[in-house]
Structure 1
């Protein structure tokens, strides 16, 4: 069943169950995204209202997912609705450019320090893919380095190493491929490193410098635990990469929401290329790759053919461009400051509650992002963040309980805040967590609930 109500009464998810049965007749696995949470059924949504979702059975849930951190302003943000509604009658996509793409590009290049030039695509996966291609074209090298556990989309070379590596007899790390049947040669061109290990990073980049086009880094990888980067680690990365002519690609598809200028600026990282998505589309499909004018010239110049051809039927479509511009214009420094303060407050409340109950839960994150871990100590590495079966069960148990309390918490991904959330909303999350730990004792346990 979906939940285990304390009062023994099963909540009504009948419409979601019926819809899932229909979905199973047309979709492999019953849904059309692997990231949809099923427990064992997904919850189907009817509508979004500000900070809340309403499911097809009319249950109202505070949304701490926001479509995987995309919706900085929550659901149904009125300025975006008005702008897009006005735009629809004039056309939704053209083979020709529009002024709207220039306006969004001007906004982004004016506030992200490392981005002098930018190109728009449709997804974060595409943005990462083209950034890797750009680095290869610019350097003439094919291999990339990346960090175990970080998620960078569905491109073969971005997926390899997401789930870590296998140790070869000679001590080399062989990147785990993203799926069965993936070309084994992909693993040869992906060097898997450990996040925040500055010494190992320097050694690996130095030994492999002649074949490395780029280091792909998420400044605070969500899937790997939402762990803050150490300043020494970032400084060493920049120094060693510059020494060997290795480009640095910052994947900020998720983490651009960490500050007005993004996560790289927050942590002192100066990437050659930066990829973005999610919040820059205002709730519509988008991705972007940007960087220095020198490196971005591989996509084309006035006097020569591009070294990397980048198109896309719906790239820079006016709907995404207008929605993105409205969303980002509304994301002022004051807005980011408020989200930062709320994030600090909620993480502190959850941490204090876990300690009060001596419960095996901990919190990581920054700005408007957080991860609840079913572990007594916050993980400091991808290996430490991986959940054992009993921890997975404990986290699932918590998510079910919070759902009954009107809170939608991602099970194995970053939770996030949105601008329509109030302090009362966040207090409700903290109170629900306290209620959970009061009703279910985990004191001095690292065991299955």
Structure 2
């Protein structure tokens, strides 16, 4: 197998993406790193896309590529899915957004409440970060406690409560101290964050018992997504449900990525139901939209008709009708057979890549969770 240097690889890349290189230079004049998302930047510069259709994208140089990312798993039907495009076009002719509620947000909410077993009531927002932020705020208001427990390697957006211990690698530190993953996080935030080891039932239960009087919530990705597609075991999730119920701690499933793995997400697949759930990615048809929901008695703090302490929840684009109709069109076409087909395809891709690694003597493995998979270049 031929080996090329990093410099040679970059030179090949530059020759095949001249227009992307030009756009990058232009972009750096007005955008930091030439883009508005840190996650899409890589050296020497990112590819700039012109269009997408189905499983393919075309970059600005006209090169067609298979898209395994699909805007970070949000486009479950692929690019330019006909029913979504048609729904958006119809709604755009009627109006893009209003300072008033719409039929569209009710219809999408009804679909999600029916689909996700633990969700009795929900609210929409514009991003997963907001969904997690409000879920944690609800938990704190409901319990009267201030601390939050998250798992090492879990990613829950950009809010200060969860910007800790995202990328620790293969081994977690014995101390499990909260490690900020961003500059600008005040040290005081770490005082209210407990870090737990993923899929380690004994240590997790010990830490929850130790801190239970102060813990408002335990938040977990049932399948760690950005941290490498690592599924939690059913037994581990069941133990979390049991111990959080024992101590009156709100259990939050962050199913923003894992909702695509089965109808109703991992909670429906395993029959283990949290108190609150955050959702995003596939529910919007490719437009900016996320949601959080769960038990009505916890969500009641958001009800403007209520008499108790209210959590204000506003946002110019919360549940905006364009995203709502796009999301409804996308979700309407997700049949049980679709989930099965996508999961089978992911398993086949992973098996094929494992065979390639073995045949080429490359230290690598592929982890799979439903229709999600991730390549790890390691022999562990």
Question: Which TM class, normalised by the smaller chain length?
Answer: over 0.9
Q: Which residue of 2 aligns with 1:304?
A: 307
Q: What stretches of structure 1 of length at least 5 have no aligned partner?
A: 378-449
| Divergent runs of 4+, >3 A | 1-11
- Correspondent of 2:141 among 137, 140, 149: 137
Tell me the TM-score normalised to structure 2 length: 0.93
CA contact (8 A) 1:300 1:306 kept: no
**Aligned 1:42-441 pairs, distance under 5 A:** 42-164=46-168, 173-300=176-303, 302-304=305-307, 307-377=310-380
Q: Give 3-state SS (helix, strand or coil) of 2:231's partner.
A: coil
* Aligned mates of 1:291, 1:7 — CA distance in 2: 51
- More displaced, 35-44 or 187-196? 35-44
Task: Give 1:27's aligned residue.
Answer: 31
Q: Residue 228 of structure 1: CA displacement?
A: 1.8
Do 1:164 and 1:175's aligned partners in 2 also have CA atoms closer than 8 Å?
Answer: no
Partner SS for 2:94: coil
Query: Cα offset for 1:301?
Result: 5.8
SS of alignment partner, residue 88 of structure 2 = helix
Distance 1:47 1:2, change over 3 A: farther
What SS class does the counterpart of residue 39 from structure 2 fall into? Answer: coil
- Which stretch of structure 1 is more off in the superposition, 246-255 or 260-269? 260-269
Deviation at 1:8, TM superposition (A): 7.2
- Report the RMSD for the aligned CA atoms in angstroms: 2.2
Report the alpha carbon displacement of residue 60 of structure 1 after superposing the two structures with TM: 0.3
**1:32-82 Cα shifts (integer Å, max 9, x gaps):** 111113221110001011110000000000000100000001111111111
Instruction: For structure 2, list consecutive stretches of 5 or more residues without a partner in the other structure.
Output: none
- Between the two proteins, the alignment pairs up a number of residues equal to 374
Say if 2:260 and 2:282, in contact at 8 Å, map to a contact too.
yes
Deviations 1:126-174 (CA, angstroms, capped at 9, x unpaired): 0000000010011000100001111110000011232459x99xx8543
DSSP-derived class of the 2:65 partner: strand
Please say if residues 114 and 292 of structure 1, whose CA atoms lie closer than 8 Å, have aligned partners that are also in contact.
Answer: yes
TM-score by length of 1: 0.79
Distance across 1 between alignment mates of 2:234 and 2:266 = 13
